[in-house]
Amino acid sequence: MPHSYEHDVLIIGSGAAGLTVALNLPHHLKVAVISKGKITSGATLWAQGGIAAVLDNEDSVENHIRDTLSSGAGLCHEDAVRFTVEHGRESIEWLIDSGVNFTRDENAQLHLTREGGHSHRRIIHAADATGHAVSSTLSQQAAARENIQLMESRVAVDLITNRKLLLPGNRCVGAYVLNLDDNHVELFRARFVVIATGGASKAYRYTSNPDGASGDGIAMAWRAGCRTANMEFNQFHPTCLYHPHAKSFLITEAVRGEGGYLRLPDGSRFMDRFDARAELAPRDIVARAIDHEMKRLGADHLYLDISHKPADFIRKHFPTIYEKCLEFGIDITSDPIPVVPAAHYTCGGIMTDKRARTDVNQLYAVGEAAFTGLHGANRMASNSLLECLVYGRAAAADIARRAADIPAPPNAPEWDESQVRDSDEDVVISHNWDELRHFMWDYVGIVRTTKRLQRAKHRIDLLSREIGEFYSNYRVSNDLLELRNLVTIADLIICSAMQRNESRGLHYTLDYPGLMHEVKDTVLVPTSFRTKSP
């Protein structure tokens, strides 16, 4: 029989954002953190570069704000940027106090590096495996807390709201969750629910993200009545390792920050033809430049070369990349690294305020799943983990303030599987998954056109109907749930892109190469939740 649980706080996702919320909540609150796989299996684990924060006396909060606004191409919310940057130092100090072992120089001072878009060295890191250091440390801290229950091999199916229970009020009271160990759907009731499920880059054929990045939280929040914003801005990391046996391994921006050159197959550099900052230009410019040169030359990939630096320097600063490339016969101390752009980061998401609150009461969103206004039209390197920390701590503080006033969640029915059967056509799921990711890459990728978007919209409408029918008739599985969510995500991306008749930041269309005079976010409202006109 499936289980039923009740907690004060249910956190869906176990990356830096989710664990930051959990560890900053009061010890008297009963907390559940659920994860699709292992607690450390999310995107945080794979973050290489580091965390941006003003930690150097030669740097300033105003410099960091100015750099972020510049990278965001006019769409950053300055109040959100200032809020994030001003809380950067205290967030880093909290991580250090939690036991994260950041890289230090020969004088035992924190070593700071520089990445694209930053005017100063302000990236604190743990060699080239910062995400691993943060994820492993926070998960160990959470495991030691008696009030935190870590629950693996669970994927959320849908949020439970008062509206779904036919009760008054606009409140989230829990979620239905599929236990992947026994394939039963469990009931989780909670006074507060936090979405920390990460991004949606698995909507694309090539991605640097782990398999779980299927936009589950964004899709569930959309179905529950939350608005989304700026979903057209999906960041493509310029340099993912290109090798037939390498899967989703990115080459950190810090390689370019420490002097790496991008080269064509003939060995010549090219970035200076696209931007005066050359290899240190923001990611959208670098990704489009690589995409342009690949298409111009008919090349499958280009190269990132840091072999002109001393071998000891390379091995010290990039040990993870050095070892991984060696596995594929590439010695980065002497050879250039074959690279290709890949979908990397979802800049849009569920609309939240500075307390991480969404449109649904008692429902919060933090990390890559959320739209805070920080990133604008293009995320600046290493601002993402900072956002996880700052808004994770803000969400925890808000929940702590409100905890005494929010009543226990109402009763909710168990998941009903009586009207569905096991699927005998799993090939439908795999085929639709492949089709979705291919046409998103071809039609809604780094460079777009109106005709390509219209073709993608036509295909997604057909897929939506097909997957909706499949979901209604067959027992749920992880693959089906992820596909259902990715179809929703793809539709949100396409609809957002069709509304932006300009080229700004990460959204580049050949039909509208210039900028519109009016600078505004692309806000989508769920149809069934729109306020009717009088």
Judge contact between 50 and 220, C-beta under 8 A: no
Whether the per-residue pLDDT at 532 is higher than 50: the answer is no
Strands 123-124 and 51-52: antiparallel
Strands 228-229 and 349-351: antiparallel
As a whole number of angstroms, the distance between CA 89 and CA 120 comes to 15
Judge contact between 53 and 122, C-beta under 8 A: yes
The dihedrals phi and psi of 345, each to the nearest 5 degrees, come to -150, 135
Whether the per-residue pLDDT at 188 is higher than 90: the answer is yes
What is the band of 15 on the pLDDT scale with cuts at 50, 70, 90?
Answer: very high
pLDDT of residue 1: 57
Q: What's the token pair of residue 480?
A: 């089906």
pLDDT of residue 530: 59
Calculate ∠ Cα 105-389-29, nearest 5°.
130
Residues 6+ apart with CB under 8 A from 513: 503
pLDDT averaged over the chain?
Answer: 92
Q: Which of 114, 189, 263, 283 is catalytic?
A: 283
pLDDT tens for 114-156 read: 887 899 999 999 887 788 899 999 999 999 999 999 999 999 9
Q: Give burial (CB, 10 Å; 0-12/13-18/19+) of 256.
A: buried
As a whole number of angstroms, the distance between CA 286 and CA 300 comes to 16
Which one, of 55, 53, 48, lies nearest residue 133 by Cα? 48
Where would I find the beta strands (DSSP E) of 426-531?
A: 523-524
What is the DSSP code (8-state) at residue 104?
Answer: B
Strands 148-151 and 31-34: parallel
pLDDT tens for 280-339 read: 987 778 988 998 898 889 898 999 999 999 999 999 999 999 999 999 999 999 999 999
pLDDT of residue 464: 95
Judge contact between 115 and 107, C-beta under 8 A: no
Whether the per-residue pLDDT at 534 is higher than 60: the answer is no
Distances (CA, A) of 222 to 215, 290, 425: 11, 34, 28
Judge contact between 503 and 74, C-beta under 8 A: no
Whether the per-residue pLDDT at 70 is higher than 90: the answer is yes
Give the number of other Cβ atoms within 10 Å of residue 329's Cβ.
8
pLDDT of residue 357: 98
Report the residue count for the chain.
Answer: 534
Decide: helix, strand or coil at residue 262.
strand
pLDDT of residue 115: 80
pLDDT of residue 533: 34
Q: Give burial (CB, 10 Å; 0-12/13-18/19+) of 443.
A: buried
pLDDT of residue 180: 95
Mean pLDDT of the 475-492 span = 95
Q: Which range, of 209-218, 304-313, 365-374, 492-501, averages the lowest pLDDT?
A: 209-218
pLDDT tens for 440-475 read: 988 999 999 999 999 999 999 999 999 998 888 888
As a whole number of angstroms, the distance between CA 84 and CA 354 comes to 9
pLDDT tens for 229-244 read: 999 999 998 899 999 8
Instruction: Tell me the pTM.
Output: 0.90
Strands 4-12 and 31-34: parallel
Which one, of 322, 327, 79, 347, lies nearest residue 200 by Cα? 347
First-to-last alpha carbon distance for the chain, in angstroms, is 49
Mean pLDDT of the 476-485 span = 94
pLDDT of residue 83: 98
Identify whether 459 is a catalytic site residue: no
Percent of the chain with pLDDT over 70: 96
- Say how far residue 186 (Cα) sits from the centre of its chain: 26
pLDDT of residue 2: 66
Judge contact between 478 and 155, C-beta under 8 A: yes
Mean pLDDT of the 480-505 span = 97
As a whole number of angstroms, the distance between CA 2 and CA 397 comes to 33
Q: How many CA atoms lie within 13 A of 130 on its CB side?
A: 27
Domains, the chain: 4-232+347-405 (3.50.50.60), 236-344 (3.90.700.10), 426-513 (1.20.58.100)
pLDDT of residue 46: 60
Percent of the chain with pLDDT over 90: 77
pLDDT of residue 105: 86
Which one, of 217, 210, 202, 182, lies nearest residue 40 by Cα? 210
The dihedrals phi and psi of 250, each to the nearest 5 degrees, come to -90, 155
Q: Give burial (CB, 10 Å; 0-12/13-18/19+) of 482.
A: buried
pLDDT tens for 338-384 read: 999 999 899 999 999 999 999 999 999 999 999 999 999 999 889 99
pLDDT tens for 256-283 read: 999 999 999 999 999 999 999 999 987 7
